[in-house]
Every structure is written in C-alpha cells, then in structure tokens.
Structure 1
Amino acid sequence: MGRLRAMIVKEIWALLRDPKARLVLVVPPLLQLFIFTYATTLEVRNVDIGVLDRSSGAHSAEIVSRIAGSPNFRKIRRLDSPRALEEAIDRQEVIAAVVIDEDFDRAVTAHRPATIGVVLDGRRSNAAQIVSGYLSQIAGGVGADLAPSARGSDVSGGTVVTNWYNPSLDYIWFTLPSLVAIITSVAGLSITSQSVARERELGTFDQLMVSPLRVHEILIGKMIPPLLVGLFNGTLYLIVAPLVFGVPFTGSLILFYLSLTAYMLALIGVGMLVSAASATQQQAFLGSFLVTTPLILLSGYASPIDNMPGWLQIVTYADPARYFLVIVQGLFLKAMPAGAVFHQLWPLVLIACLTLSAAAWLFRARME
C-alpha cells in the first residue's frame, strides 16, 4: 500500500504541478459544455423561405403570413416564376420554396381538397427535412382552422400528442446529457494516453522498470488521476445541467457515479493501450485522436445506431460510449431503474476488464 500510495501521489502531482495544466483540466471541458450545448442544435432557425404564390387569394395569404410569422424562419422571399424559384434554390438563397397553384383558393372555397407544393434543397438533406416538417405543421394548422367551417359543424376531431420525458421538445434536454458522455471521454482519453508516453519521453520509464513497483501497482497509480478528473468533471456537469440549462436529473446519483466509474475505467483501459504502444507524447496524442473520433461517431450521438449498416452496428458493441450514452440520457430524463442501468452497465464492465488486461499485458511486454 505504501508503494501504491506513493505512485498515486506521484501521478497526481505530475498532473497538477503546472498551474496551466490545472486550468486546462477544468476550464476547457466546461467551455466545451456551454459551446457544444448551443452549437449542436437539432433545430433549424434563421433560414429563408421562398414563396411562389400563383393564387393570391385570402387563404394563400393566410398561409404565407403564418410562414412569415414563424420564429424558425428569417424572412420570406417572394418569387414570380418557376425559373426564379430554381435560381433561388440553386444559389442557396432559400432552403425551401412553397408553391401555391392558381386554383388553391377556389378549391378551398369550394370545399375541395387543396394542396401546396414544397421544393427543398436536397444538398442540406437533414435541415431540409426539418423545414419540411415545419411547413407541413403550418399548413396543417391552416387546414384544421378551415375544417370546422367547411363541414358546417363545431365538432372537430384531432390527435392529442403527449411528449414523455421532454414535454417541450427542448433539444438541450437531449444534447446536454449526451455531451456529458462525449466531453468526459475526450478528457479521459487525452489524459490517460499521455501517461506512459510522457515517462518514456522524459526518460523516467527506465526508473519505473528498476523500481520495486509491480506492473499492477504502476497501472493503478496511472489510472487514479484520470479517474478523479472524470468524476470531477461529471460532478461539475451534474451541477451545471439543472442550474444553468434547466435540464432535470431525475435518476439515482449512486447509479450515475457507478456507471461513470465503469465508463471511465473502460476509457482508461483504451487510453493505456494507446499510451503503452506510443514512444512519444506526439504519437500518444495522434493515437488518442484516432480512437476518439470513431468512439464518438459510433456511440449513437451523431446519428442513431439503428440507421447504420448491419456490419457497423456490430462494431458499435465494442464502443463504451454506446452504453454510457443510454445510461446518462435515461438517468437525466426518465429516472431509469436499476435493472435497465445494469443491463447497459455490464458491457461497460466487460470492456473495462478487457482493455485494462490488454494494457497490463502490453505494458509488461514493453518493460521486458
């Protein structure tokens, strides 16, 4: 225990002795949380919409006025011909164009089915689909307002929609818990991957080889600082989320810290593998970058795992972020029960055991 305590103190001191390094451990992850929370928005705002209104009646004017009044759109660009519509989309002056035919108002007045056309810029496929949803909702609202008068009755049907876990559909409620997993992983990998490489570059790796420390004691000593940093950052995010962003934490704190510890150990195992295989800190940095990018992309944060090809979905089972992302979102938004948490937790523990064992084997092989 004395040797282990000395190793842990040495690693913590190596991490904290530089004032700039202490600042880097806290300030950048916090800034990333604030910046990425607002930057990774799932909404589409401040876009221009083109309108080709060939009807010029009261009902078409109502639709145009509602589009103009939507907070999601910046301004309406009036178009006078199909050629002007084509040029506006081609030059990316508008992301979508609404086309209202000549007989639109006559069809509405005669209580016949009336439709409007929407031309979307397919180069921005995701944003265009979201804008299409906005426009469909506006058109549906106008149609619902006209339906009772068209039937001559005050009785109207409809659909009652209830949004569980995120009643206001605030995208921050989804992105912020996910960012807790992503930013924590970036910090954990970058710190761990530099540990052994730093020893080699500074020439102190040979001293470790001749010291009475055993391999597992060296590894434990190098695991503790990034684990403490990850737990500290996780606690910081846990405080900032409800106080600053209004994102509720409805789950168990014990399950959160238990899952965060398992997740950090899995990341530390990956980082130790990168560090043990690297001869310099530059190689370790490039190695951690090589690991971090697929870890984020395959986690389900950028795009749903179900949308990926079948063979790639199999690869995601080796990604620890895949499991922790489900846990942290569930604990924040829907008070995920312990059984559901442990269903996602045991793969994290398995990945941590495998990566730490592989790191120990590689570290022992490099010491011989």
Structure 2
Amino acid sequence: MGARILALIVKEFLALFRDKRSRFVIVVPPLIQLLVFGYAATYDLDEAPFAVYDRDGGHAARDLLARFEGSPAFELERRIGSAGEIAGVIDAREVLLVVQVDQRFTADLAAGRQAKVQFLIDGRNSNTAQTVLDYASQIVAGFNRDWAAAHGLQGPPVSLVTRAWYNPNLESRWFFVTGLVGILTLVVTMMVTAMSVAREREQGTFDQLLVTPLRPAEILIGKAVPGLLIGLFEVSVVVLLAVVWFQVPLVGSLTVLYTGVVLFLFAAVGVGLMISSLAVTLQQALLGAFLFMVPAVILSGFATPIANMPEPVQWLTLIDPLRYYLVIVRGVFLEGAGFGLLIHQMWPLAGIALVTLVTAAWLFRHRMA
C-alpha cells in the first residue's frame, strides 16, 4: 500500500511540474504577492500632508507648529489664511489634517490658562484618520510636557479639540463595509467570467460551441453578460445590507453609484475573460483569478492607504480598477459626491474597461483560430 501511495505522489508531482503553466503558478504568484504585501500592506504613516491655520502667530504657536513640520510623519502642504479654505482642502483630499491654532494661544499660555488647538481630520478612511490623530496627539503631548516643565505647571497647558469630517465617530465599519461593496463585486464577477470559457474547454463542450452559427463576438458577449448581471445583483444586495443592516449612511445619488458600478463591472469582466481565454483548465482559471484579485485588493487602498506605499507601487495602483471603484463607492456613500467630483475616477475606470475588453476579444479570437 505504501509503495502504491508513493507512486501516486510521484506521479502527481511529475504531472504538476511537467506543465509549464503549473510551474509558473507555483513559483511566480507567491513571489509577486510577497512583494505586494511587503511594500503595500503597511499601517505606518510617513509624510502625511497637513495644513496650518495659525490664527495666533505668536512664539508658542510657532513652536508647536514647528514640531509638526519637523516630524517625519507629517509634511506641510499648505498654510491657510481663512476658515473658509478648510473645507476645500479636505474635500479635494489635499490634506489629511488641518491644525487650527486659537487666536489667543500664546496669550493664554503666557497667562497660565489652557490654550486651544483644533484638529480637523479627513475621516473617510477611519484607519488613516485614527493614525493621524494618534501621531498629532503625541506631538501636542510632547509640547505640553516641555511647556509645563519649563513654566512649572501641573496640568496640560494645551487643550486639544478634534473633529473628523465625513465619519464623525471614526467608525471603522463605515470604511470597511463600503470597501466590501467593491471587493465582493470583484470576487463574484471575476469568478463567474474567469471560469466560463475554461469550464467549457475542460468539459469538452467548447468545440461544440464553435460549430454553432454563433460568431466569436456573440459568444464573447454571451460569456460576459452573465457576469455583468450577477455583479449588478451582488452590488444591489451588498448596498442594501450596508444601509439597512450596518447603518452606513448613503448620502449620495444612486445614479452616480451605479454609473461607477457599471464601469467597474465592465473592467472586471474584461479581466475575467482575458484569464478565461488564456486558461486551458478550470484550475488554471481559478489560480489566474486568484493571482489577479489578491494584489488588486492590496493595491486598492482597501485596508492601507495608497499614499503610504513606495512611489513605484503607487504607480502600479493606477492600473488597478478596484482603486478607482472604492473611491467612487466611498465618495457616494460618505460624502454625497456627484459626477463633478468623481469624474477623475470614472474616466480611468472606463479606460481600463475598454482596454481589458478589447484585449479579451483579441485573445478570444486568437485562441479560437
């Protein structure tokens, strides 16, 4: 019995390594995913852009703000001259944090009274917002210790007031549930389309399909439409659960949301059909889909911000359709963003969809020839 089992094990290894594609799948995907995880999956915060609204201008305010500018965690992006500019820089994602110093900051400290500093944080990504708040609070705490020691005070001289925009309580559920709208859509659509042609080849029914009067373009459309319809159904269910069950506010327009959904589904279907056209077996199609989906999720900014990634990795995220889709979904849910704000996410998504669908059509015709 042991000899037979050993012989079977040897046979499986020989069959596995005899196929070039199987050897590729065993070696290359783990290395790619290791590099992606190693560089992209980080919660560290480096050079987070922030703005300053210094209403005081005194020496104590300059001392506090100099600590922010000297910190490796922050990078001064802009100095604000009026309160009306704050909304614009946060809405446009120019900064993650606005530090507003009270106009009597230095005078209050000199008189031994508590001085006020306000943090205005972009709360759309609750993880990043919490990290920004932690780092900024540490800087204020260091200023408090030094000022109290130098002036013989007991309590903290600076009182910190914090406000998070678009997610006042920094509930991580709002961030992750809206992200799951994109990830679940990608998983279901990719699986349906990636397996479509490969399943036919493995079952031996693809040749029968070729002798029908259907043209290649018609066969391709027939393979794409189920993925699109299932994806739309999946999105609708997840959006409904997000609003009704998880109580995530949907403050934007469904028209804007579903425009982004359709563009993303076309891109996902195009990638899935490309994989399905290249795969010979169902196993290869599943592995190909897995190879695409894991880096796509990591590079999308779902869990860790893209701004924290090394610059070459940030360039790589530009070809990830999930990156743009998550911005659209979260923008509609949490910000109420319209076409004007989200057009810069929609046109790259439309471009990726066009390229993937055209490439899938070419591969499909080439493999049928």
Which interval holds the TM-score relative to the shorter structure? Answer: 0.5 to 0.7
**One-letter amino acid matched to 2:207:** D
Match of 1:96 in 2: none
Residues 206 and 244 of structure 1: is their aligned pair in 2 closer, same or farther, counting only changes over 3 Å? same
Give the secondary structure class of the aligned counterpart of 2:293. helix
Match of 2:330 in 1: 329
Q: Structure 1 vs Structure 2: percent identity of aligned residues?
A: 48
Residues 171 and 213 of structure 1: is their aligned pair in 2 closer, same or farther, counting only changes over 3 Å? same
For 2:270 and 2:240, the matched residues in 1 are separated by 27
Is residue 2:245 matched to residue 1:244? Answer: yes
TM-score by length of 1: 0.59
Match of 1:102 in 2: none
For 1:338 and 1:151, the matched residues in 2 are separated by 56
Following TM superposition, the consecutive aligned residue runs of length 4 or more in structure 1 with deviations greater than 2 angstroms are 150-154, 156-161
Match of 1:352 in 2: 353
Match of 1:56 in 2: none
Instruction: Name structure 2 gaps, 5 residues minimum.
Output: 1-42, 44-111, 113-126
Residues 232 and 157 of structure 1: is their aligned pair in 2 closer, same or farther, counting only changes over 3 Å? same
CA offset at residue 157 of structure 1? Answer: 5.9
Match of 2:342 in 1: 341
Match of 1:205 in 2: 206
Q: Which has the larger radius of gyration?
A: 1
Q: What RMSD over aligned residues (CA atoms) do the two structures have, in Å?
A: 3.6
CA offset at residue 152 of structure 1? Answer: 9.6
Instruction: Name structure 1 gaps, 5 residues minimum.
Output: 1-41, 43-110, 112-125
CA offset at residue 216 of structure 1? Answer: 1.6
Do the aligned residues in 1 keep the contact of 2:190 with 2:269 (CA within 8 Å)? yes
For 1:312 and 1:157, the matched residues in 2 are separated by 39
Match of 1:176 in 2: 177
Do the aligned residues in 1 keep the contact of 2:256 with 2:338 (CA within 8 Å)? no
Give the secondary structure class of the aligned counterpart of 1:284. helix
For 1:153 and 1:320, the matched residues in 2 are separated by 54
For 1:163 and 1:307, the matched residues in 2 are separated by 20
Is residue 2:158 matched to residue 1:189? Answer: no
Measured against aligned partners, the alpha-carbon deviations of 1:45-67 in whole angstroms (never above 9, x if no partner) come to xxxxxxxxxxxxxxxxxxxxxxx
CA offset at residue 198 of structure 1? Answer: 0.9
For 1:163 and 1:311, the matched residues in 2 are separated by 30
CA offset at residue 159 of structure 1? Answer: 3.7
Do the aligned residues in 1 keep the contact of 2:198 with 2:281 (CA within 8 Å)? yes
**One-letter amino acid matched to 1:239:** L
Give the secondary structure class of the aligned counterpart of 2:245. helix
TM-score by length of 2: 0.59
CA offset at residue 151 of structure 1? Answer: 9.1
For 1:209 and 1:361, the matched residues in 2 are separated by 16
Measured against aligned partners, the alpha-carbon deviations of 1:97-131 in whole angstroms (never above 9, x if no partner) come to xxxxxxxxxxxxxx9xxxxxxxxxxxxxx9xx97x
Measured against aligned partners, the alpha-carbon deviations of 1:7-33 in whole angstroms (never above 9, x if no partner) come to xxxxxxxxxxxxxxxxxxxxxxxxxxx
For 2:164 and 2:335, the matched residues in 1 are separated by 12
For 2:315 and 2:134, the matched residues in 1 are separated by 32
Match of 1:302 in 2: 303
**One-letter amino acid matched to 1:356:** L
Give the secondary structure class of the aligned counterpart of 1:351. helix
CA offset at residue 356 of structure 1? Answer: 0.7
Q: How does 1:213-224 map to 2 (within 5 A)?
A: 213-224=214-225
Residues 152 and 287 of structure 1: is their aligned pair in 2 closer, same or farther, counting only changes over 3 Å? closer
For 1:215 and 1:256, the matched residues in 2 are separated by 32
Measured against aligned partners, the alpha-carbon deviations of 1:240-263 in whole angstroms (never above 9, x if no partner) come to 112111110111101111111110
Residues 244 and 209 of structure 1: is their aligned pair in 2 closer, same or farther, counting only changes over 3 Å? same
CA offset at residue 220 of structure 1? Answer: 1.1
Measured against aligned partners, the alpha-carbon deviations of 1:317-340 in whole angstroms (never above 9, x if no partner) come to 110001001111111100012112
The alignment of Structure 1 onto Structure 2 pairs a total of residues equal to 242
